[in-house]
Amino acid sequence: MDVINEIFATNKVLYQCACGHCKPLTHIYFCRYCLKMRCKDCVYHEVDSQYCQHCLEYIPTIDAKLKKNKCASCFQCPNCMHTLTPRTFLASVPSETDPNGMTTRKAQFLLCSYCKWSSKDVGIPDQFIGSGGWPEIEAPNRKRVEGLVDHYRVIAQRERMEKEKKRINPRPGHAIHLLDKYGISASLSAKLTESLRTKAYSGRISSNYLSASKSLTDIKLEPSLATDDVEPLDVDTFYNKDLIESEISSIEQRLMQVEMQPNTVSQFYPISKMLYVKRSLRCKECDHNIIKPEYNSSSIKFKIQLSAFYDIPEVKIASTPKLIPHKESMVELTFKNPYQYGMHVCLQPLKDEEMDESITGKIILPKAEFILECKDDTLEPELDSTQKTRYNDDPQLITFRRGNKIGLRLTVIPEIDSGRCRVCFRLRHDFVNSVVQNKSTGGSEPQVSWISHKIYVDLGPVIESKESIA
């Protein structure tokens, strides 16, 4: 029970990031260069590398772009989205050397081991090994779209040239004139439309758009032709035939193949697996990497990982007291140093301007500074008592000391009659920077700085007094 509580209790202690967001320590980064907390909302997210999650192949960015972020060799089941397995078998084919004889060649089809969909089911021909993989389906409108791109490019270039000419000798309203070719702003401003409309009615605007396209002699592209010959519903299929739901594709399946959007399962085609992105994070202030993964796609390690969890003391609630409104209670907080150097820690109250309405209780903080030992996995935890004597700890304040962890007994006073009691304080400590070396000492000494963090602790609901319930 306690373990589970522990895991889910992470939201009880929040650290304020430099951008103002409050997050649990595990969600916060600590930039060792500018010595500030960062969270996912205040760092740059960048594509570090791309890889296929299935074959774990690392794909260089340029190839990934060419392949539209898809893996060339792995496919997904168009029916259930599981990965398809290639099945190899020996197919007999006419021999190349002997016109009458047969020979065998290795061929493949794709099979879903989960739902049993197979490329054979839907009539996709088997592929011979070494024939260069599965062919992609060509979009039927490709040529037309390419023609359209060329067509509009010429128009746009012309517009740009006109615009450049006019820039030398601007006349009033020219911006509007430029925009009406595509009607962009016209569609958005009612006032503007009104004036253009009057012009259109009186027939004074001959369409720039059309006249421009007419003179495009080098690109022979006809506008679309409208027709009143619209395909009627296939009445026989819809009214007289049974419909087997499993033969019709779902909306999700259709959208997996955006270009074709097959209506029936029989039109399915294997879907190339999408590549995964490994992200790197970069500090917005100093541009240093905060997270940088390793290139090896199977590795989950990081080259750089500046998680606050490794650098900043972790605060936890050890025991929650009964919280009675406006009465003093004792709460025990623990502080743990995850860092390789020891720390001098002190707790400071907030300045008046730092207070906010989410703070609903007062916490009385010790004036004294205390020491948090460094994290050292190689040492057996010393006995409480020996450590305690070494640091000359005040037993009234410090409840225990074990290695890099310390327990503190503090007084809180809830300042509300009902609801949750939240207290806030600043944790100030020194930080020995093992990454950034001190310039003044010629880089031989690590730089030591004092930093402080605003920490919110949610102690839980107060016990409402009997009078207020009644």
Partner 1 sequence: MTDKHSVILEFGHRYTKCGFVQELAPRAIIRSVVASSHGKEVELASLSGSQLDQAFKTIIQTIYFRYLGVNYKERKVILIETLFTQNNVRQSLINVLYQHFEVPSLLIVPHHLMTLVPYMVSTGIVLDIGWKEAMAVPVIEGITLVNSVKYTPLGGKAINERIHDELIDRKAILRKNGVEKVYEESDRFDDFVLENIKVKTCFIAPFERGQLMLEHKAGLKEAPDNTPKDVYFHVDQNNTLLIPGGLRESAGEILFELYGEEETVATLILEVLLSCPIDYRKTLASNLIITGGTSMLPGFKHRLKMELLFLVKKIEKYSNNIYIDKFMFHPPLCKENYIAWLGASIFGSTDVVAMRAISRDTYLKTKGCFVDWSEWRPQPLNKI
For the segment 4-63, give every residue that binds partner 1 (CB under 8 A). Answer: 41, 44-47, 50
Question: What does 332 bind: Zn ion, partner 1, none (CB cut-off 5 to 8 Å by kind)?
Answer: none
Whether the Cβ atoms of residue 308 and residue 281 lie closer than 8 Å to each other: no
141 φ, ψ (degrees, to nearest 5): -100, 10
**What residue 68 binds from partner 1, Zn ion, none (CB within 5 to 8 A, per partner kind)?**
partner 1
Per CB under 8 A, does 319 bind partner 1?
A: no
Residue 228 or 353: which CB sits closer to partner 1? 228
Asked whether the beta carbons of 405 and 322 are under 8 A apart, the reply is: no
Identify the H or E element spanning 449: strand 446-461
Binding span for Zn ion by CB under 5 A among 35-43, 161-169, 174-182, 234-242 = 35-43
The tokens of 161 are what?
């040239």
C-alpha distances (whole Å) from 22 to each of 25, 332, 338, 346, 390 are: 9, 22, 20, 21, 36
Task: Considering the complex, state which of residue 17 and residue 323 has its C-beta at the smaller distance from Zn ion.
Answer: 17
Contact set for Zn ion, span 272-301 (CB under 5 A): 283, 285-286
Q: How far is CA 360 from CA 322, 332, 415, in A?
A: 15, 18, 6
Contact flag: residue 110 with Zn ion (CB under 5 A)? no
DSSP 42-55: GEEEEEEEEE-TTT
| Stretch 274-313 residues interacting with partner 1 (CB under 8 A) | 274-275, 277, 279
- What's the CA gap between 178 and 163, in Å, rounded? 7
Choices 125-133, 155-163, 380-388, 448-456 (CB under 8 A): range interacting with partner 1: 155-163
Shortest spacing between CB 56 and partner 1, in angstroms:
17
The reply on whether position 255 binds partner 1 by CB under 8 A is: yes
Question: Do 39 and 22 form a contact (C-beta atoms < 8 A)?
Answer: no
Smallest gap from Cβ 210 to partner 1, in A, equals 6
Q: Is position 102 an interface residue for Zn ion (rule: CB under 5 A)?
A: no
Please list, in sequence order, all residues whose beta carbon lies within 8 angstroms of the beta carbon of residue 310, skipping any fewer than 6 positions away: 30, 338, 339
Backbone φ and ψ for 459, nearest 5 degrees, come out as -90, -5
Residue 448's binding partner, choosing from Zn ion, partner 1, none, with beta-carbon cut-off 5 to 8 A by kind?
none
Residue 181 binds which entry of partner 1, Zn ion, none, with Cβ cut-offs from 5 to 8 Å by kind? partner 1
Give the Å distances, CA to CA, from 168 to 163, 173, 208, 391: 9, 15, 21, 79
x/- binding map, residues 64-83, to partner 1, per CB under 8 A? xx--xx--------------
* Residue list 1-20, contact with Zn ion (CB under 5 A): 17, 19
50 binds, among Zn ion, partner 1, none (CB under 5 to 8 A by kind): partner 1
Candidates 115-123, 188-196, 235-243, 407-415; binding stretch for Zn ion (CB under 5 A): 115-123
3-state secondary structure 117-166: CECCCCCCCCEECCCCCCCCCCCCCHHHHHHHHHHHHHHHHHHHHHHHHH
Per-residue binding string, Zn ion, 38-77, x by CB under 5 A, is -x-xx---------x-xx---------------x--x--x
Residue 196 is a binding residue for partner 1 (CB under 8 A): yes
User: Which residues, 6+ apart, have CB-to-CB distance to 109 below 8 Å?
Assistant: 86, 87, 89, 118, 119, 120, 124, 126, 127
Residue 110 interacts with, from Zn ion, partner 1, none (CB under 5-8 Å by kind): none
What is the distance between the alpha carbons of residues 75 and 274, in angstroms, rounded to a whole number?
Answer: 9
- Among residue numbers 127 through 146, which ones bind partner 1 (CB under 8 A)? 139, 141-142, 144-145
Q: Residue 170: name its binding partner from Zn ion, partner 1, none (Cβ under 5 to 8 Å by kind).
A: partner 1
Q: How many residues bind Zn ion (CB under 5 A)?
A: 25
283 binds, among partner 1, Zn ion, none (CB under 5 to 8 A by kind): Zn ion
